Amino acid sequence: MIGPEVQLPEVQLVERCLAGDSSGARSFVEMFQGTIFGLCYRMVGHRQDAEDLTQEVFTRAFRSLSGWDRIRPLKPWLLMIAANCCRTALSKRARLPECNEFADDVAARPEIVRDTEFAEAVQRALATLREDHRACFILFYEQELSVNEVAETLGCPEGTIKTWLHRARKDVAELLKRQGFGADVPDSNRD
């Protein structure tokens, strides 16, 4: 039986993928590609790495699709895979010697330069957060998951997620204020 939160088209799409239907696989990727790429980019902060991670997420998802619990929504399950891939990539990156590739990336990509000042300030603020706080913040605000869904995605208790969200909001707001932006990050009561 399918739970009320799972949409029938998601189940049908998964069944098409499991049956080897290539158009179903294409539809699956098209449906979630923007969401997955957005999460990966915000977590790792580098476009090429995010593109590579997005491909890795879909590869892992297709390999594990038969294990997806059909009574649960598909999006949080995919975001959990993406968050885990990003955490693995970030831990590998932390072991590598540092280089100044951010400056090269900004100079080579006009779409980054065109971003608004505020968006850049938010990105800089997010980059300073602890990895778990950043993932929590992005999943809650950008991906609009509930606290419960963020907890499931990151494999943590809801109380921990609430604490991380509070601390992340506070840190981002303080950094934005120091950069001349007076607005606080909104404190949402969305669960």
- Total domains, the chain: 2
Could you list the residue range(s) of the whole structural domain that residue 143 is in? Answer: 115-191
Quickly list DSSP for 47-68.
HHHHHHHHHHHHHHHHHHGGG-
| Sequence letter at residue 150 | V
Question: Are 93 and 122 in the same domain?
Answer: no
pLDDT over threshold 70, residue 113? no
Question: Are 96 and 127 in the same domain?
Answer: no
166-180 pLDDT, tens per residue?
998 888 888 888 877
Question: Are 54 and 34 in the same domain?
Answer: yes
Predicted local confidence at residue 182, as pLDDT: 60
Question: Are 58 and 136 in the same domain?
Answer: no
pLDDT over threshold 80, residue 147? yes
Segment 59-77 mean pLDDT: 89
Question: Are 49 and 123 in the same domain?
Answer: no
87-110 pLDDT, tens per residue?
888 877 766 444 344 434 444 444
Question: Are 82 and 9 in the same domain?
Answer: yes
pLDDT over threshold 60, residue 2? no
Is pTM beyond 0.85? Reply is: no
Question: Are 95 and 31 in the same domain?
Answer: yes
Cα torsion angle, 83, 89, 95, 98, sign: negative
Predicted local confidence at residue 162, as pLDDT: 92
Q: What CATH number did the domain enclosing 181 receive?
A: 1.10.10.10
pLDDT over threshold 60, residue 5? no
- Among residues 35, 70, 69, 71, the alpha carbon closest in space to that of 53 is found at 35
pLDDT above 70 as % of the chain: 79
Question: Are 91 and 8 in the same domain?
Answer: yes
pLDDT bin (cut points 50, 70, 90) of residue 7 is low
Lowest mean pLDDT among 69-78, 161-170, 174-183: 174-183
Q: Is 111 exposed, middle or buried (0-12, 13-18, 19+ CB in 10 A)?
A: exposed
Mean of per-residue pLDDT scores for the chain: 79
Predicted local confidence at residue 54, as pLDDT: 93
Q: Which of 62, 97, 114 is the last residue of a domain?
A: 114
Q: In whole angstroms, give the CA distance from residue 64 to residue 12.
A: 16
SS3 content of the chain, % helix, strand, coil (to 5): 75, 0, 25
Between 82 and 117, name the one with better pLDDT: 82
Q: In whole angstroms, give the CA distance from residue 130 to residue 176.
A: 16
Question: Are 7 and 43 in the same domain?
Answer: yes
Question: Are 1 and 95 in the same domain?
Answer: yes
Question: Are 39 and 85 in the same domain?
Answer: yes
Question: Are 110 and 121 in the same domain?
Answer: no
Q: Which of 80, 114, 148 is the last residue of a domain?
A: 114
Q: What CATH number did the domain enclosing 88 receive?
A: 1.10.1740.10
Q: Which of 49, 79, 114 is the last residue of a domain?
A: 114
